[in-house]
Chain A
Amino acid sequence: MKKLFALLLAVLVLALPLTLAAGAEGETAKDYSHLKGTTLNVYNWGEYISDGSEGSLDVNAEFEKRYGITVNYTNFESNENMYTKLKNGGANYDVIIPSDYMIARLAQQDMLEELDFSNIPNYKYILDKYKGLYYDAEQKFSVPYTVGMVGLIYNTKMVEGTPDSWNLMWDERYKGDILMFNNPRDAFGIAQCLLGQSVNTTDKAEWDAAAAKLAEQKPLVSSYVMDEVFNKMEGGEAAVAAYYAGDFLTMYDVNPDLAFVYPKEGVNFFVDAMCVPKGAQNKEAAELYINFMLEEDIAVANANYICYASPNKLVLESDDYDLKDDPILYPDESAMPKTQIFELLDEDTQLYMNEKWNEVKIESGNNTGVYIALAVVAALVVVFAVVKIVRGKKRKAMY
């Protein structure tokens, strides 16, 4: 507890001159006192913000303290989950942090507010190469939060040699010890990389081939997971998993037997960015929050905690950033894997992918035993019923 307090104090002391300096430059002169007492609804991926655990900085609490705005923070498990919730109007959010292709989809369907970048002066710290990307070419709707790549995580105690291919996830030897993505886009992405297809193909035959590849893998898969992968890989419950590179570093902290590789067939490169959805109740606070997330101390705390690569210059230059030279997050030219980005699929392809994904998941092998057992039960019920009725009639006849 004392340690934690000291740490918080240290962070505050460090942060103080920074904020003062920023104030002195006269760029955050805007008065936000009228937002005091309002609520800001933030909807983000799970395990995707520095939350104060293990002595880290509690970013949301810091925001609340500084501006008196209550942060109502909730999680989603996948882009698709988040989309469904937004679409069905189940709740109101002010800030959401989806991935690139989902931002393109939301923008296309007119579900995002245009940002007022004059309220987000810290945007200038975003590296140029992450500005105006395809999903938001005019740079109207989004501010990058993290960037990353998907890769192969394996347990060195269970896997022989040093794998370099997605084929490891189709290896009979690891039957029942393989964890696969539980969302269609990422799962298909891997099969498509392995088959040498584009992950954005519109050719149905290619989607069929990828679905067949996933169906072939299914008997080997232990389960389809998202964030459960942390527990399972950390606890040595599975040998091989596909997941996001940044999350590997978190798992590696707990279980040093784990190793990571970018498969040679190529991987998905993604950007997760902060947006304001249409219907946001507190857009001004949302922009303030987005700007706040780009401040040095906050962005560094986040980058250190969630271990994803940062698109923020301040972070990359900061001395407090522990992962600056991490070869997995920031591979140099020679080690850079082949990457593909998820583009927005047209509605038709999107539906076709969902349908194929359903088929892969439903496919449940040989169930003959179950059918026979059910038939026997049904027969027994019928016999029982007949006996009952006959007996009842006999009894009635007796009286």
Chain B
Amino acid sequence: MNRSSFRTRIAGSPYLVWAALFILVPLGMVAYYSFTDQSGRFTLDNMARISDYTGPFLLSIWLGLLATVICLIIAYPLAYLIANSGEKRQRTMMLLMMLPMWMNFLLRTYSWMTILGDNGLINTLVTAIGLDPLKLINTRGAVVLGMVYDFLPYMVLPIYTIMLKIDRSLVEAAQDLGAGRLNVVKNVIFPLSVPGIVSGVTMVFVPSVSTFYISQKLGGTGTLLIGDIIEQQFQLGETSLHVGASLSFVLMILIFVCLTVMNRFSDSDGSVLV
């Protein structure tokens, strides 16, 4: 017993070292910079200045939420469909799902610029059939589109995985008891797939809220997100760096709170079920 736990510890040690070096130390540094000024003295000024950035904070959360909800609406039926098709078909569909992810994410976002641009692909088609060109790029819609496009696979994957694991006999039992298709999905499959949804939502919401590249490329001057501001703070130099750090710090706490709330509800859901 002791020996095996020792072995586990050995096996886990590379990760522990990794976590300490690249997760804990940077976190500590972010915290340190958030609460100090240029000369290293403790200060709450940086935190006090965060209220200036309420607008971008709320906008980020709103756009992140929108992207997450749209991802969920698209991904859930898709994952269900994939999980319930034949093995060969499953493999092909997963491959198609993953294929875009093999391309660089910056590149994919960049290509949306040429698709949505004022003289881009879509507008060339639209004007060719005699309609007025559409205002597509530099809008909030374009930013949400970029988020959905870039992060959709992160929603599909965990839901698909969890659906594969659902015990078929539970579905059969429900059917034996007279549940229709809709009822099976509503009362058996959906509750059992909640953990997949939770991790999918996490994996889409977190990068969407903190993104800066997508909003810079696809959004105009009215879509400055909190990620953009943090990036800008770090580029402007020393004093701004501390404000940037405190913004990151607060963003982390906000995301943490959001996720805890969500996890709590999914947990209670699970316990009710079992």
Contact = CB atoms under 8 A, between A and B. Distances in A.
B170 to A, nearest CB: 20
B229 A374 contact: no
A372 to B, nearest CB: 10
B138 A365 contact: no
Given A176-B138, A222-B221, A367-B55, 11 more contacts: A84-B241, A87-B237, A219-B221, A358-B236, A359-B52, A362-B53, A362-B229, A364-B59, A364-B224, A367-B59, A370-B62
A-B pairs with lowest CB-CB distance, top 3 = A354-B236, A370-B62, A221-B221
B52 A362 contact: yes
Contacts of A351: 239
A373 B144 CA distance: 15
A18 to B, nearest CB: 41
Contact of A237 (B55, B65, B119, B221): B119
B238 interface: yes
Contacts of A184: 236
B191 interface: no
Given A222-B138, A392-B272, A235 B117 contact: yes
Nearest to B268: A392
B223 to A, nearest CB: 8
A362 B221 contact: no
Contacts of B65: 374, 377
Interface residues of B, number: 38
A237 B62 contact: no
Contacts of A395: 272
Interface string A226-244: 0000010001110000000
Contacts of B59: 364, 367, 370
A367 B223 CA distance: 10
A231 B233 CA distance: 26
Interface residues of A, number: 39
A223 B138 contact: yes
B138 A354 contact: no
24 contacts: A84-B234, A84-B235, A87-B237, A176-B135, A184-B236, A221-B220, A223-B221, A235-B119, A237-B118, A357-B236, A358-B233, A358-B236, A358-B240, A359-B52, A361-B228, A362-B224, A364-B59, A364-B223, A370-B62, A373-B62, A374-B61, A385-B265, A388-B268, A392-B272
Interface string B100-130: 0000000000000110011100000000000
Interface of B: 52-53, 55-56, 58-59, 61-62, 65, 113-114, 117-119, 135, 138, 216, 220-224, 228-229, 232-241, 261, 265, 268, 272
A176 B133 CA distance: 14
Contacts of A373: 62
B220 A222 contact: yes
B252 to A, nearest CB: 19
Contacts of B216: 223
A362 B55 contact: yes
A87 to B, nearest CB: 7
Interface in A51-108: 78, 80-81, 83-84, 87
A224 interface: yes
A218 interface: yes
A374 B237 contact: no
Given A361-B232, A362-B53, A377-B65, A388 B237 contact: no
B237 A362 contact: no
Contacts of B221: 218-219, 221-224, 361, 364
B15 to A, nearest CB: 26
B265 A388 contact: yes
Contact of A374 (B62, B232, B234, B268): B62
B235 A81 contact: yes
